Structure formats: structure tokens, C-alpha cells
Amino acid sequence: MTAPGPTAAFRLTDEQRDLRDAVRVLARERVAPRAAEIDRTAEFPWDLKELLASQDILGLPYPVEYGGLGADLLTTCLAIEALSAACATTGLIVAVHELAALPIVMAGTADQKTRWLPDLAAGRKLVAFALTEAGAGSDAGAIATRAVRDGDDYVIDGSKRFISQGSVADLVTVFAVTDPGGKRHRNLSCFVVETDRPGFSVGRLEHKMGIRGSPTAELLFDGVRVPASNLLGREGEGFSLAMRTFERSRPGIAAQAVGIAQGALDVAARYANERVQFGKPIADFQMIQAMLADMDAQTEAARALLYTACAAIEAGDGDAGRWAAVCKLVAGDTAMRVTTDAVQVLGGYGYVDDFPVERMMRDAKITQLYEGTQQIQRLVVARSLLAARR
């Protein structure tokens, strides 16, 4: 599954198209009917998680030798996008399942991969990514969770906040300080913590504006003891591992955002054709047409940038971080704008839950906040741009 370099005009391969279409069918037939209920009850959709597992969608990004499909970044994003158009929570399941295991895939030894990846690829177990803390959001350098070496183990103390799917995960990739006195970006290490270890517990669950079916948890580490063989890479490599993870996780969130935007656009366009006011469908009115056209253009642009970024990152582009940031930046802002306009097109009906656009607007907001705020993305883009011109 190769894709040409970023400057070449590209097409999806036949296989990418087939996989995307298969996910679309599932999204339409099995996910979409559940979306409103998931949002209303704020319950994690275990049934859909099982469906994603049994259809190999959770295994998409995992290496073939561990039971995954070895799909490239673009293919995984196609799946996330297709699912998110129906339900952002469900799309997020795939996105989290991809990103949270990246530290294992990138830095794990063969033995570590064998221990953890097969269950994840099969969708038998879930994994979460625990970097953020109450005092450390954009400022990853302010992480306070400690991991102290004790014989053949490490003992982890601290707490993480706003961890997506943290309460349903069987494994968590945790970033903790192993060198308190050390240099700011060299003092972090990444560990795999199985959530059935003593001392691990789930604290509060957030009540959120959107993606309400995805549990966002506080994770508490009270003297959690893990063997040294749970350390990924070497001590001090945590920060750089996190940064490398973002190169592949941010496009996943961009895909979620593009999906949400497309879903909202589809609803708004259909509504405009059916809703009759002043004796004609509102689709005949130019102000509506202008809004829809802008929504379409912006979604298409965000999508094109996402696919280009995926191809660049997959091809090993030297500035993968910038590609990840720029596609996430554009997609997140697009999703917010498009969903807000979708509500506008539906007018009063857009504000009530008879129609899904109000949910999509609430869902869209998170894509401007997590996986690096839009402000952080801008810093990354600016730094890359200006460094190149120094």
C-alpha cells in the first residue's frame, strides 16, 4: 500500500478505496443508528467496539506480524474519517487505539511487542495514552508523575487527567519523570502499565460538551509497581517518543475532524433540499447556497491536506511534525466552522436534538483542543516555517 510523495497528485489505491468503502457501509448501517443514543446516554459503546474488533478495523494500524493489517497512516485515517462522519465517539475509538499503542510500536523491543500488540491488534484489549496532567496540558514539560527505580521495578506515583478511554483501557502508555533533576525535555520516560496492577485506579470521569460516549478519565497511580521490562525505549526518551507519536496521532484527529465536518455537511445539504420556506426549498436561496459551498470547499481542502500530510509522514518526510500540525490545525478549525454553519442552515431545528448537527457541533470542538491545542499547532507550524527561512 504505497502512496506517492507529497508533491505528486494522488489517488487512493484500489485497496484503500475498498477498505474505506467497507468501513463506510458499517458506519452507515451499524454506527449511525447508535450515534444519538451514545451521545444521550454518554455510555461507551462496547457493542460498536466489538464490531470494530471483529471487522479488523481496530487492527488496521498494527503490524502484520502481530496480527494487525499493517495499514499505512492514510488508510487508518480513512477509517477514522468514515466512522466519525456517523459518530465522533466511534471514530475516536479507532484513533485512540492507533495512537496509544504508538510508543510500543515505535520503541518497544520484539519481546515487548509480542507481549502487548497481539491482544491490541485483535481488539481483545484496549489501550490509552496518558501524558496529560492537571498541571501539564500544553506544557508537557511540567509533568509531575514520578517513576522511581526500585530494584528490577519502577514505582509510579502521580495522576493523569483528561485521558481518553482511560477508564476502559486494559493497558496505558504512561509518561512519567524518571530524572527529576534532569533537563526539561530529557527527564521523561514512557512505561506500559497494565490497569489491573495494584495501586492503579480511575478517578473522576469528566462530563463533557461532546464525544460524550468516550470516557475521559483521571487516572491515579498510587505506588504502582511495574517491572523494568515495561519501560519503552530508554530512560529519558519519553519526551521525544511523545513528539514522534504526535506525528502519527494528530492526523488521526484531523481525520476525525474531517469526518465530523462531512457528516454535518451531508445533513445540512439534505435538509436544505427538503425544507420548504416561502414556497421553495431553502436550497434555492443564495445565502444558503453560499454557506453550503463554503462548507464543502473547506471540508474538501481539509481532507486534501490531511491525505497529503499522511502521505508525507508515511514517506518519512523530514518535517513530519509540521505536516501533522498543519493538517490537524486546518481540520479542527474546519470542523468547528462547518458544524456551526450546519446548525445555522437548519435554523431552529439545528439547535434541537431531533437533528444530529447540534451534537456534531459539540463534538467538533474537542478537535481544536486535544492532541495539542490549535495554538500549539500554530507554534509548531510557525517554528518549522521560520526555521527553514533562517
Partner 1 sequence: MLAKPVPDTTGQERLGPDFRVDRAASPAVVNANDDYALEAALKLRETAGEGSVTLLAMAPATAPDTLRKALAMGADSGVLVTDDALAGSDTLSTARVLAAALGKLDYDMVLAGADTSDGGTGTIGAGIAALLGLPYLSYAARIVPGGGRVRVHRISPTGFDVLDSPLPALIVATQALGEPRYPSLKGIMAARSKTIQVWSLADLGLDPATVGGATSTTRVLRTQAPPPRAATRVVRGPADAAAAELVTFLAERRLI
Question: Could you list the active site residues?
Answer: 371
In the region spanning residues 59 to 98, those forming contacts with partner 1, defined by CB under 8 A, are 59-60, 69
Among the residue ranges 21-29, 124-132, 293-301, 368-376, the one whose residues contact partner 1 (CB under 8 A): 21-29
CB of 50 to partner 1, least distance (A): 13
Among the residue ranges 51-59, 94-102, 180-188, 225-233, the one whose residues contact partner 1 (CB under 8 A): 51-59
Name the residue nearer to partner 1 (CB basis): 59 or 103. 59
By CB under 8 A, tell whether 32 contacts partner 1: no
CB of 13 to partner 1, least distance (A): 10
| List 3, 57, 242, 291, residue binding partner 1 (CB under 8 A) | 57
The crossing angle, in degrees rounded to 10, of helices 357-365 and 320-346 is 150
By CB under 8 A, tell whether 56 contacts partner 1: yes
Q: How far apart, in whole angstroms, are the C-alpha atoms of residue 312 and residue 381?
A: 15
CB atoms within 10 A of CB 339: 32
Which SS3 state, helix, strand or coil, does residue 242 take? helix
Among the residue ranges 10-18, 34-42, 248-256, 333-341, the one whose residues contact partner 1 (CB under 8 A): 10-18
| List 8, 18, 203, 347, residue binding partner 1 (CB under 8 A) | 18
| 231-232/188-194 β-pairing | antiparallel
| List 5, 8, 25, 276, residue binding partner 1 (CB under 8 A) | 25
CB of 83 to partner 1, least distance (A): 13
Please give the size of the binding site for partner 1, defined by CB under 8 A: 15
Q: How many CA atoms lie within 13 A of 46 on its CB side?
A: 5
Which strand (E) or helix (H) includes residue 221? strand 216-227
Cell numbers placing 291:
454557506
> Strand locations in 48-194, DSSP E?
127-130, 146-150, 153-164, 171-177, 188-194
Name the residue nearer to partner 1 (CB basis): 52 or 326. 52
Among the residue ranges 54-62, 206-214, 234-242, 274-282, the one whose residues contact partner 1 (CB under 8 A): 54-62
Name the residue nearer to partner 1 (CB basis): 54 or 375. 54
By CB under 8 A, tell whether 55 contacts partner 1: yes
CA 360 to each of CA 213, 332, 333, 339, 367: distance values in angstroms, whole numbers, following the listed order: 13, 13, 14, 6, 11
Give 145-183 as a DSSP string: -EEEEETTEEEEEEEEEEEETTTT-SEEEEEEES-TTS-
By CB under 8 A, tell whether 166 contacts partner 1: no
CB of 93 to partner 1, least distance (A): 15
Name the residue nearer to partner 1 (CB basis): 62 or 116. 62
Burial of residue 130 (number of CB atoms within 10 Å: 0-12, 13-18, 19+): buried
CB of 181 to partner 1, least distance (A): 48
| 280-281/200-205 β-pairing | unpaired
By CB under 8 A, tell whether 343 contacts partner 1: no
Name the residue nearer to partner 1 (CB basis): 49 or 362. 49
Among the residue ranges 55-63, 102-110, 257-265, 294-302, the one whose residues contact partner 1 (CB under 8 A): 55-63
Among the residue ranges 11-19, 194-202, 262-270, 329-337, the one whose residues contact partner 1 (CB under 8 A): 11-19
Give 243-303 as a DSSP string: HHHHHHHHHHHHHHHHHHHHHHHHHHHHHHHH-EETTEEGGGSHHHHHHHHHHHHHHHHHH
CB atoms within 10 A of CB 186: 15
Q: What is the CA radius of gyration of the chain?
A: 21
Residue 138: which of 219, 260, 242, 254 has the closest Cα?
Answer: 242
| List 3, 19, 163, 264, residue binding partner 1 (CB under 8 A) | 19
Name the residue nearer to partner 1 (CB basis): 57 or 295. 57
By CB under 8 A, tell whether 333 contacts partner 1: no
b vs e for 21-53, b when ≥16 Cβ sit within 10 Å of the residue's Cβ?
A: eebbebbeebbbebbeebbeeeebbeebbebbb
By CB under 8 A, tell whether 26 contacts partner 1: yes
Residues in the site for partner 1, rule: CB under 8 A? 14-15, 18-19, 22-23, 25-26, 54-57, 59-60, 69
